[in-house]
Structure 1
Amino acid sequence: MSEWLALALAMAGACLVVVAVVLLRNRRVADDEDTSETPDVIEYITMMIGVVYAIVLGLAIAGVWESRSAAQDDVQREAQALHEVSARAEVFPAEYRAVVDKDVDAYVSFVVNTEWHYMQTEGEISPEGTDLLAKLRADVAARAPQNDIEAQAYQAMMDKIASADEARNSRGGNVGPTMPGVVWFGLGIGAVITIGMLFALQIRRSPRELVLAGTFSALFGFLLFLIWDFDDPFGRGMSVTTEPFLNLFPFLGG
């Protein structure tokens, strides 16, 4: 099922449930029920519940968006660090430079073509990717610098590999859902309570009231779906992409 279809079903489902409940309730309402006005205290409580839940939704959206942005930044940092390793190797002899470039190309190719799918299916980074990065570190460290220029480039390369390793570990920590289950429980219960308070306002079956109630519930369905989609930075529709690797290593796109 596509993400857009899931979103449409979530919004339509929330809207239909509320409209159906309103219609069923009005079929069972007593003929002498007074619906001319709603007590002020009910309107006040409904308003306060809506405000509190809106704040909770806003914090949840900000939290998952921040996690997704941090994950994308980690990917950018990892790709940039590996690109710098290849660039710094230019001052070394061709044989050594070829080994470094081969290790870098093997690692980024594995990340883009294999590990990305592995993260989505297994929920963790691949041990093989860790081994490839360790091989790059070992091959870079295998040759002692022969002059001052090489010494400066060597230290910079080791620092960039350490930065790539740190970004990789951070990427692994962001794989999978980031929102605790208790937060999802609160969001679900809050949505039920907030939408349920609509019925305390004595909504009738007029087209205007049904449209407003349906739109209100559909909005909640959209926001909850948005949080769910952002909750897994690497596994869902609006996930973190491999674009930084593709931009810095053009051969991957070929």
Structure 2
Amino acid sequence: MIVEMLLGALFVCGTVALTLAAYFLMRLIMGGEAEGHEKELASSVIFRISALHGLILALVFAQEMVEYQQLKYEMATEAGAIADIYYDAARYGEGFKAPIQQAISAYVSQVIDGEWQSLADKGRLSNEAWAFWDKAYQHVLNLVPADKRQESLRSQMLERLHDVSQSRTKRESNVADSIDSIFWFAALSGVIFIALAYYAYPPRRRNLLLLCLFGAYTGIILFLIYAFSNPYQPPAALAPGPLERVQEQINASPATGL
């Protein structure tokens, strides 16, 4: 928590310092006080750059929030599919449930204990988790239904295993779609250009305070975008809560077959 707070403070203080540095550099280059027509032109430039800059930040922030919420939805979908497979295996028949349930239980444990950290460190899914998924898939494929009930349960388990596979693929693509360095170039350029255009206004205490407020708020937005850009790493790391709850249910179930 302390590290996250320090990182947020670094973003805020950094943008404030960048704003003031650009402002005073432009004042030094231009020299003297600006005339009336210069202030009008500066105001016009500030308005246009600010509009584009704000639009870029808003679009990227909204995109990161949507992807973050989508990951939470996919994780809940995967957890529901895992629970369905596990309990459908028990419904299929006492003599067939153990291999499927063992593979599914091992898969969940591997995702929680190994894959989540692998996504944070390498941005890659765990090969071990894929192996356990494939093992469960093979066991379900090898089932030979004896009646309509078993045929329906087998079909449902295969469908839910496909749902798990799709959720896994989306989980990995969420890391691959992280923010490109071009965005940070555009965002920081906007801060600099806006600050440069304020050179026409004298460095009075109130004016400097307003510049600091602009830099601080921009820093907060940039920090939030950075935080949500990788949901597997702090400061906005997303815990596999739904999968952990499914694991607890599986471990507490009398039908574990283990």
Match of 1:197? 197
CA apart distance, 1:50: 0.8
Distance 1:108 1:54 in 2: 42
Cα distance in 2 for partners of 1:192, 1:21 equals: 6
For residues 235 and 6 of structure 2, what CA distance do their matches in structure 1 show?
11
Is residue 19–residue 192 contact of structure 2 (8 Å, CA) maintained in 1? no
Correspondence 1:1-254 to 2 at 5 A = 2-19=3-20, 33-34=32-33, 37=36, 39-176=39-176, 178-199=178-199, 201-204=200-203, 206-250=204-248
Change (3 A) 1:235 1:42: same
Q: 1:251 to 1:149 in 2, by over 3 A?
A: closer
Q: Distance in 2 between matches of 1:253 and 1:153?
A: 22
The one-letter code matched in structure 2 to 1:41 is L
Partners of 1:103 and 1:135 within 8 A in 2: yes
Return closer, same or farther for 1:148/1:221 CA change in 2, 3 Å cut-off. Answer: same
> Would the alpha carbon gap of residues 191 and 29 (structure 1) be closer, same or farther in structure 2, given more than 3 Å must change?
closer
Q: Which moved more, 1:16-25 or 1:163-172?
A: 16-25
Give the distance between the partners of 1:170 and 1:21, measured in 2 at CA: 41
Please provide the CA RMSD for this pair.
2.6
Do 2:23 and 2:196's aligned partners in 1 also have CA atoms closer than 8 Å?
no
* TM-score using structure 1 length: 0.87
Q: Secondary structure at the match of 2:175?
A: coil
Given the superposition, is the C-alpha separation of residues 137 and 116 from structure 1 closer, same or farther in structure 2, using an over 3 Å criterion? same
Equivalenced residues, count = 250
Deviation at 1:35, TM superposition (A): 5.5
Any gaps of 5 or more consecutive residues in structure 1? Answer: none
Classify the secondary structure of the residue corresponding to 1:144. Answer: coil
CA gap 1:39/1:23 in 2 versus in 1, 3 angstroms: closer
CA deviation profile, 1:40-86 (whole Å, cap 9, x unmatched): 12211211111111111101111111222222222222111111101
Structure 1 residues 170 and 22, CA gap change in structure 2 (3 angstroms): closer
Deviation at 1:117, TM superposition (A): 0.5
* Bigger mean CA deviation after superposition, 109-118 or 74-83: 74-83
What amino acid does structure 2 have at the position aligned with 1:108? Answer: V
Contact 1:22 1:203 in 2 (8 A): no
- Counterparts of 2:111 and 2:87 in 1: how far apart (Å)? 20
Letter of the 1:210 counterpart: L
Structure 2 unaligned segments of length 5 or more: list them: 253-258
Deviation at 1:5, TM superposition (A): 0.9
**218-227 vs 153-162, which deviates more?**
218-227
Asked if structure 1 preserves the Cα contact closer than 8 Å seen for 2:71 and 2:171, the reply is yes
| Contact 2:111-2:129 within 8 A present in 1 as well | yes
The farther-off stretch of 231-240 and 157-166 is 231-240
Whether the 8 Å contact between 2:20 and 2:195 is mirrored in structure 1 is no
Seq. identity, %:
20
Residues 128 and 35 (structure 1), Cα distance of their counterparts in 2 relative to 1, 3 Å cut: same
Which moves more between the two structures, 183-192 or 123-132?
Answer: 183-192
- The CA deviation at 1:157 is 0.5
Contact 2:23/2:198, CA 8 A, preserved across alignment: no
